[in-house]
């Protein structure tokens, strides 16, 4: 999985490419832990994300909880497979998906 970041003041855009699963989730977790401080608008671009597993959901949930305190988090470009996972797990209810 590749992670690309774009920081614009307090706005942070993270684009993911590939699979977010048990092996790659710690990578995203480390990246977020490192750069989420002071961010008020977190934008996740999922247009190139092929798959998300429960380990990936856990990282998203943690990020959502942090952003609930310090701003907002938006997820963009969610494909059908990933959307299905969000629906099954009820994540659609707590995430902001555009």
Nearest Cα to 2, choosing from 58, 52, 60, 49?
A: 49
Q: Are 14 and 7 in contact (CB under 8 A)?
A: no
Query: To the nearest whole angstrom, how small is the minimum distance from the Cβ of residue 18 to other proteins?
Result: 11
Query: To the nearest whole angstrom, how small is the minimum distance from the Cβ of residue 7 to other proteins?
Result: 24
Residues of this chain, 22-81, that bind other proteins according to CB under 8 A: 22, 51, 53-55, 57-58, 61-62, 65
* CA of residue 1 relative to chain centroid, distance: 13
Instruction: Kindly state the number of chain residues that form the binding site for other proteins, as judged by CB under 8 A.
Output: 18
- Is residue 9 at the binding interface for other proteins, with CB under 8 A as the rule? no
Question: Per residue in 55-85, is it b (16+ CB within 10 Å) or e — as a string?
Answer: bbbebbeebbebbeeebebebeebeeebeeb
Query: To the nearest whole angstrom, how small is the minimum distance from the Cβ of residue 90 to other proteins?
Result: 4
Interface residues toward other proteins, by CB under 8 A: 21-22, 51, 53-55, 57-58, 61-62, 65, 87-91, 93-94
């Amino acid at each position: 999985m590749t992670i690309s970041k774009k920081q614009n003041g307090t706005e942070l855009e993270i684009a993911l490419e590939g699979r977010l699963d048990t092996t790659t989730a710690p990578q995203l977790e480390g990246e977020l832990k490192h750069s989420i401080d002071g961010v008020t608008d977190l934008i996740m671009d999922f247009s190139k994300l092929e798959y998300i597993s429960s380990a990936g959901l856990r990282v998203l949930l943690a990020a959502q909880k942090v952003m609930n305190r310090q701003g907002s988090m938006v997820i963009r470009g969610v494909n059908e497979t990933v959307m299905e996972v969000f629906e099954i797990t009820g994540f659609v209810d707590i995430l902001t998906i555009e």
